[in-house]
Structure formats: structure tokens, C-alpha cells
């Protein structure tokens, strides 16, 4: 007997109840006498439209993902969801934005290496230092390339090891040789690359103003207290600054960066290491496409003494000369992972 083109209330109930749960072929089996074309047409007519040929996600499936996100891998979560693949679970995690950030989410468990994803969430001297270091010498990925990359000279490998310990990074440090264009010499480098870093990138931007492609647009951190601000400046100096020392503790400290960041650093330096001469405050001046700010004379040692109490990592080759004029009994200064 030919099936009537009218759909009974019972057929409508079956369609709405099982759509998104059962496949199209299973729906046809549940509706005797209805063809594939008829079921597709009815789905479209009543507004049950498939999204790009995929089944809709039910609320109970979203609940399972939310409860296990960060605890299980995307493969293990998919095993809890019949007829959902690992790729489908990854896409759903991305759409749900489980951490509430503006950045799309990548499953924290679907990776080989781990670290403290909330390391930069609450500013403190240690993470403020590393935020400054990354602001000066790190590479921050965008929404497409979700990674944080930090590469420095091999002679500073101990400093990169300290970075890995502070973040509880379970991965390894890569070593390679890099030849600069136009030069015959080869530079030995060490590198750490954190991939799938949406939480970390968000906290770096929110708390410290560190953003992708920051060379010409970097802005200073907002709402940091004095201790964290000094730690950020020390990290920024280690990443993209210099310290030179002359006789009797006199020398220069220099920073390179955007006008906004250097103006912020200058404002703090004028307070913690003021010049004793009127009208002799250091000025910010352009250097090619960026800006430079320097302090000199006794301001160098005064800044070193003022900031010596901060227990943050410091590059030995930069900070050991200024602190040889500091009473080591009064200040416990750390270089890399060593104390002096």
C-alpha cells in the first residue's frame, strides 16, 4: 500500500525525537514507507536542518564534554560519545569556548607536553618577569598559529631551563644552529615552543599587554603594582636591553621598544632611580623604526640596589656587573638558577 503524503502526528514525533540522534538511514527504518527524499524534505520543512550534513549536538553531549574537558583527551571524550569522532569533539570544544576567553579553545589534553596553563593568570613577580621577557624577546602566536616561542642564545640555556621549571613544562628544549642572512658565522640557539596556548595567550594579553606581532604595537601592562612592574622591567631588560658598566659603578642601562612601553618604563625609572641633577633626566629617542631609552651614571647602581630585593630570574651576564657594587649580605640576588 502506497504511503500517504500526509505525515501523521506519530511520524512527526518520531522525526523530532530521533533527529540528531539517529542517522538518516535509521530514521527511514523508523518510518516505514518513507523514502530518503521524503525524510529529507520533511526535515527541511519542519526546520530540522542538518548543519553541513552533521548531527546537532545535544545538551547531554555538551555536558559530558564540559565535565571531562581538561581531564581526558579528546580521543577519550569521543569514546564516551557514541557516533562522535575525535575530530568532531575537537570542533565542539572549540565552539563551546569552555574557558570563556575570546580565543577559541584547543583541548588542553590533546597534546604531548603540559605546563601550568594558568601561570600568567594572577600577576606576581615571577610571571611578571617572564611576561616582560616574552614581551621583549618572545614570539606570540595568533588565533591560527596558537603557540608561544622563546629562542635565546645557547650560552643562556640555564635561563631557558628556569623558564621551563617555573611553568612546569614537561617538554624538552631544542638546540639548533642559526645562520643570519649576510653573515658567515653560525649562532647556536636554544628554543622552547608551547603549542595550543589559548589560555596562556589570553592571560598575557589581559594582564601584561603582550600580543601577537607586538614589535611596533606593544603597550605597557596595566594595573601592576610596583613590585610586579619592576619584575616586568627586569624581564624586559633581560630580553631586549643592555647593561654596560664603567668605573665606580657607573654605566648605562638601555631599552628598545615602542614609545608607549618606554614612556611607561621611564616614568618608573624616574621614581625608583631619579637623577640628582636637575634637567638631566634621560630622554626617549627614535632609533630607525623603534625607540630607545637609556639611563646612565649612578642611576644604574641605584636601580640595581632598589630592585635587588626582587627574587626573580636574572641573566648572569647582564646583572652580575651592576651587583658587584651591592652588599651581598644585604641582598640575595639570583642569576638564572643560581644565588649570590
Secondary structure class of 338 (helix, strand, coil): strand
Q: So what's the pLDDT on residue 324?
A: 52
Q: First vs last Cα of the chain: how many Å apart? A: 94
Strands (E), 161-250: 174-179, 186-195, 241-245
Distance CA 175, CA 198 (A): 25
Q: So what's the pLDDT on residue 1?
A: 44
Q: For residue 79, which of 97, 22, 70, 88 has the smallest C-alpha distance? A: 88
Distance CA 34, CA 49 (A): 18
Question: Tell me: the pLDDT tens digits for 16-66?
Answer: 777 766 777 878 888 888 888 888 887 776 666 544 344 567 778 888 888
- DSSP for 137-169, please give it: HEEE--SSS-EEEEEEEGGGHHHHHHHHHHTT-
Secondary structure class of 13 (helix, strand, coil): helix
Contacts of 85 (CB under 8 A, 6+ apart): 78
Q: What angle do CA 249, 255, 260 make, to 5 degrees?
A: 135
Q: So what's the pLDDT on residue 335?
A: 45
Distance CA 108, CA 120 (A): 16
pTM of the model: 0.64
What Å distances lie between residue 260 and 293, 299, 302, CA to CA? 11, 22, 24
Average confidence (pLDDT) per 10 residues, the chain, 340 residues: 68 77 78 85 67 61 80 79 78 63 42 78 94 92 74 88 90 74 56 74 89 89 93 93 69 90 92 72 76 87 83 83 50 41
Amino acid at each position: 500500500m502506497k504511503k500517504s503524503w500526509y505525515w501523521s502526528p506519530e511520524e512527526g514525533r518520531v522525526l523530532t525525537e530521533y533527529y540528531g540522534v539517529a542517522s538518516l538511514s535509521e530514521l527511514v527504518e523508523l518510518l516505514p514507507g518513507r523514502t530518503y527524499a521524503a525524510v529529507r524534505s520533511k526535515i527541511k520543512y519542519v526546520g530540522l536542518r542538518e548543519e553541513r550534513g552533521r548531527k546537532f549536538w545535544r545538551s547531554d553531549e555538551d555536558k559530558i564534554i564540559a565535565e571531562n574537558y581538561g581531564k581526558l583527551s579528546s580521543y577519550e571524550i569521543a569514546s564516551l560519545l557514541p557516533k562522535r569522532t575525535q575530530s568532531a569533539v575537537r570542533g565542539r570544544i572549540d565552539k563551546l569556548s569552555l574557558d570563556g576567553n575570546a580565543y577559541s579553545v584547543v583541548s588542553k589534553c590533546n597534546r604531548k607536553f603540559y605546563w601550568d596553563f594558568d601561570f600568567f593568570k594572577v600577576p606576581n613577580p615571577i610571571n611578571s618577569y617572564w611576561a616582560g621577557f616574552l614581551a621583549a624577546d618572545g614570539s606570540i602566536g595568533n588565533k591560527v598559529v596558537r603557540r608561544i616561542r622563546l629562542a635565546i642564545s645557547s650560552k643562556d640555556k640555564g635561563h631557558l631551563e628556569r623558564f621551563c621549571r617555573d611553568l612546569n613544562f614537561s617538554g624538552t628544549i631544542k638546540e639548533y644552529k642559526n645562520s643570519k642572512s649576510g653573515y658567515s658565522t653560525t649562532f647556536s640557539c636554544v628554543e622552547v615552543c608551547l603549542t595550543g596556548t589559548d589560555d596562556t595567550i589570553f592571560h598575557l594579553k589581559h594582564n601584561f599587554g603582550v600580543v601577537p606581532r607586538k614589535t611596533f604595537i606593544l603597550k605597557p601592562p596595566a594595573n601592576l603594582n610596583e613590585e610586579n612592574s619592576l619584575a616586568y622591567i627586569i624581564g624586559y631588560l633581560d630580553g631586549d636591553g643592555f647593561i654596560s658598566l664603567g668605573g665606580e659603578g657607573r654605566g648605562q642601562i638601555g631599552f628598545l621598544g615602542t614609545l608607549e612601553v618606554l614612556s611607561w618604563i621611564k616614568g618608573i625609572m624616574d621614581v625608583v632611580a631619579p637623577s640628582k641633577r636637575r634637567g638631566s633626566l634621560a630622554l626617549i629617542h627614535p632609533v630607525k623604526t623603534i625607540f630607545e631609552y637609556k639611563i646612565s651614571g649612578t642611576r644604574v647602581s641605584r636601580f640595581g640596589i632598589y630592585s635587588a630585593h626582587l627574587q626573580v630570574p636574572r641573566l648572569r651576564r647582564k646583572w652580575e656587573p651592576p651587583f658587584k657594587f651591592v652588599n651581598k649580605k644585604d641582598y640575595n640576588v639570583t642569576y638564572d638558577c643560581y644565588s649570590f
